[in-house]
């Protein structure tokens, strides 16, 4: 079966995608610098699939090491690129870190992929490329607007770099998956979202507050023009998202793509507010959450949820899990990780 490189493969979305790739028979190689992940995820993947993926600790910012890796692994048939810094708030505070981590690394990776006979590339993009879209739900044809944060900007620039390569190299095929807000965990509760330090994302902050690790959850803003005043997002179960990567990869490997650069929105098509998420979590967990309303956070858009028709009908993928399902799995994971730590 095809050999696939997954960068950032020990992270949250990466590890779930590795599991789905292995379930489909792919040989997986993982590159990860362990800056926001842990090597014990390898054993956790192994305990789910029965296969321990090949792993190399590597910082993609080190160009010579990226070159050496590809010289050794010149039989890679596809790359799924997750390795990136990914928090909107942090990117506003430290933009240069985000440009270095998310752009330099992409360029070094693509330079090596250009040398392969055929290059199939799945890019981990984001709904942040749309900024505050004019209309909901957001289609792939919605204009890419000036980014609201340096993180969003790195995803826009990343997509443009890939498009530029696709224009001049017909042997290079890329798909940008613009995903919305991944949450939840594998049903085994052996892998999930485990941020190092203070969580930058809503759901791990919720679960850590519920388990007593955090004193209080801050809801950033309750004066947005939404049904309850809090921001609206499209929360997608991470396993559904992982499966979308496998479907997209197979599309390229089987030559089903209609052009050598395509984009797909990966979401549920349903918008949920921050307070909707809190209520859903309280329902599935039986826990009462300690939260307070705080001032708005820089870089946050009011609402973003996907039109998923293109992904459903052309890519042939559809999300399966509800918000309650995803939050129940996140809570199960949080309890499991604390019990065993």
Report the catalytic residues.
Answer: 151
DSSP 3-state of 60: coil
DSSP alpha helix (H) spans, the chain: 12-23, 41-49, 63-72, 88-93, 95-99, 105-113, 150-168, 202-210, 238-253, 274-285, 309-310, 323-339
Beta 232-233 vs 172-179: how paired, if at all? Answer: unpaired
Count CB neighbours of 308 within 10 A.
25
Residue 94, C-beta contacts closer than 8 angstroms, at least 6 positions apart: none
Residue 329, C-beta contacts closer than 8 angstroms, at least 6 positions apart: 184, 185, 186, 187, 189, 192, 237, 321
Give the distance between the most distant pair of CA atoms in the chain.
Answer: 55
DSSP 3-state of 205: helix
Question: Which of 100, 95, 82 lies closest to 16 in space, CA to CA?
Answer: 82
CB 208 within 8 A of CB 214: yes
String of DSSP letters for 271-299: -EEHHHHHHHHHHHH-PPP-EEEE---TT
Q: From CA 230, how far away is CA 227, in angstroms rounded?
A: 8
């Amino acid at each position: 079966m095809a050999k696939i490189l997954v960068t950032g493969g020990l992270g949250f979305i990466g590890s779930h995608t590795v599991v789905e790739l292995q379930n489909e028979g792919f040989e997986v190689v993982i590159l990860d610098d362990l800056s926001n992940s842990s090597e014990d995820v390898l054993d956790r993947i192994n305990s789910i699939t029965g296969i321990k993926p090949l792993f190399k600790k590597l910082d993609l910012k080190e160009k010579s090491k990226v070159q050496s890796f590809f010289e050794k692994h010149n039989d890679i048939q596809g790359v799924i690129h997750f390795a990136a810094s990914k928090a909107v708030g942090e990117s506003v505070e430290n933009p240069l870190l985000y440009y270095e981590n998310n752009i330099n690394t992409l360029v070094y990776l693509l330079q090596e992929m250009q040398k392969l006979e055929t290059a199939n590339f799945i890019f981990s993009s984001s709904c942040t490329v749309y900024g505050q879209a004019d209309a909901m739900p957001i289609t792939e044809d919605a204009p890419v607007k000036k980014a609201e944060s340096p993180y969003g900007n790195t995803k826009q620039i990343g997509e443009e770099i890939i498009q530029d390569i696709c224009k001049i190299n017909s042997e290079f095929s890329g798909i940008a998956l613009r995903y919305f807000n991944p949450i939840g965990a594998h049903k085994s509760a052996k892998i999930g979202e485990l941020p190092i330090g203070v969580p930058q994302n809503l759901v791990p902050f919720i679960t850590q507050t519920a388990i007593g690790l955090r004193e209080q959850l801050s809801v950033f803003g309750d004066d947005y023009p939404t049904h309850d005043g809090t921001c609206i997002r499209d929360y997608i179960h991470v396993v559904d998202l992982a499966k979308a990567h496998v479907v997209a990869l197979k599309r390229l490997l089987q030559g089903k793509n209609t052009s050598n650069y395509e984009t797909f929105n990966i979401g549920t098509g349903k918008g949920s507010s921050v307070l909707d998420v809190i209520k859903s979590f309280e329902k599935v967990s039986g826990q009462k959450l300690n939260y307070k309303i705080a001032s708005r956070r820089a870089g946050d858009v009011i609402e973003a949820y996907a039109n998923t028709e293109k992904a459903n009908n052309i890519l042939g993928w559809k999300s399966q899990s509800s918000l309650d399902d995803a939050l129940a799995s996140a809570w199960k994971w949080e309890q499991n990780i604390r019990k065993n730590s």
